[in-house]
Amino acid sequence: MIQAILKKIRYWQLIKNSNNTDEKPVKKEKKKLSLSLSTNIKWFKELLGKSDDIKVREFTFGNKRVVNAALIFIDGLVSNEIITESIMKPLLLYDESLQETPTNNAHDLMNQIQRRVLCSGDVTANSYVEDLVTSCLRGDTVLLLDGTCQGLVVSSKGWDKRSVTEPQTESVARGPREGFTENFRTNTSLLRRKIRSPALRMDSFTIGEKTHTMVCVAYLKGVADEKLIEEIKRRLNTLKVDAILESGYIEQYIEDAPFSLFPTIGKSEKPDVIAGKILEGRAAIIVDGTPFVLTAPMLFTESFQTAEDYYSRTLYASAIRLMRFLSFLIAVFAPAFYVAVTIFHQEMIPTKLLFTIAAAREGTPFPAVVESLILLLAFEVLREAGLRLPRPVGQAVSIVGALVMGDAAISAGLVGAPVVVTVAISAMAEFVTPENQDSITLLRLIFLLLSAALGGYGIMLGTLGMLIDLASLESFGVPYFAGIAPAHSHDMEDLFVRAPLWSMTERPPEFARKDRTRQKGSKPPFFHHKS
């Protein structure tokens, strides 16, 4: 019976797939411009609609021959100074008799205007109405002439944008304090300033049927694996969506393991961090409208590394990195370990400490696991409230709420003091590795429930499942747990500790497949023999 049902389902799936393959997408043909200026303006108004910010400036220019023309742009997206000084003024002062090459028709006149008259740095010709409308929506100005079926797209972007400031999510004590902004070209220029190499490539895409969002894949040609770049481009080209409003959209559409607790695509607001990853052989994905730039592939150990590690001295940076790994373990396992030892393994607790815990929990109405759940839920509520409220109010709510609620809960006898200390230590340890915040929150809850059910055995089973998940994950063909499993001698230089920069002579073998040499013979004077 079951086999018959499965065969029936398989039969309907095959029919559905065959129907999908038979259907060919109908490609809509683009409309070309007309020779009539009034007709072209009418088409533009039909596509752009009746909006107050859509401006159509009709005018005439020329001395020998009067030419009817029109400028089409969107107010608020363009710079009025560029339109006035670089487009309107040169055209109104245009004298055809002073030109060396005579113009026989409107098409020749358009070419002469493109090459000799307009003062903008970027002027391109296009004959399709849809493409010209898209250029207007991106902040460019379209110039149309009567008698020619071609338009000029003049770069005139001039909308307000946020200046380059220090990113709020990645503050450092030492290092560059500039961060990406919401402007696409500002972000690409910040990367160009860090990597002044002709090998830096930036391949652009337009994704989103409604938003037409600019997306750029930045990589170092000759260093990054060509298969990696092809795979990223393939995944981006397959996206058929209405909108891309933030890089998080791209991340969710192209990541390898969407249901894993761990992210397989990195992100950062700092140009120096993205530049460092590109120099290792990774690729960066820049999305217009967001300061967060994605990087791929990503390794598990990346979330324990910061840009400041490479600006500080070796011993201190290595000690801080080891502390991050320890903080991750504390944040995930501390509540679960407390519940396991207080319920199942009291013999592991020293006698004096056991009496102290028993005295503190005397009179509390809930078991240890319920106490932990209540405090963890209260902590998440306070953190979310502090994040969503305005900054001055949010800080007061989070600090005062934690102090008042914790003290009131202990005084009322709802929870014991030891569980409050345990949850507080776990919460503070979570802030050391903010990249793992999402995974820590879920893992802490999972391990807490496993310890409440099976004690220490539950923690061991959960740890085994987590390690199996980490070892099975991949990020664009690269093992997510690389450096630990599989291990490589070069990965140990920048894994749990950070080796001296002069000793890291090669790029990570997981990313760089061709040019792996990072430096040659750049040791400090201590290693040089005195003559």
Query: Is residue 286 classed exposed, middle or buried when 0-12, 13-18 and 19+ CB atoms within 10 A define those classes?
Result: buried
Whole-model pTM: value is 0.85
CA distance 253 to 234: 12
pLDDT digits (tens, 9 = 90+) for 223-273: 998 999 999 999 999 999 999 999 999 999 999 999 999 999 999 999 999
Main-chain phi, psi angles of 332, to 5 degrees: -85, -45
Q: Does residue 16 carry a pLDDT above 60?
A: no
pLDDT digits (tens, 9 = 90+) for 323-376: 999 999 999 999 999 999 998 888 888 888 888 888 877 777 888 888 889 888
Main-chain phi, psi angles of 5, to 5 degrees: -65, -40
Q: Which of 33-37, 107-111, 213-217 has the lowest mean pLDDT?
A: 107-111
How big, in percent rounded to 5, are the helix, strand and coil portions of the chain?
50, 15, 35
pLDDT of residue 165: 87
Q: Which neighbouring-strand residues pair with 479? A: 474
Work out the average pLDDT over 421-439.
Answer: 89
Side chain identity at residue 303, one-letter code: S
Q: Are 219 and 514 in contact (CB under 8 A)?
A: no
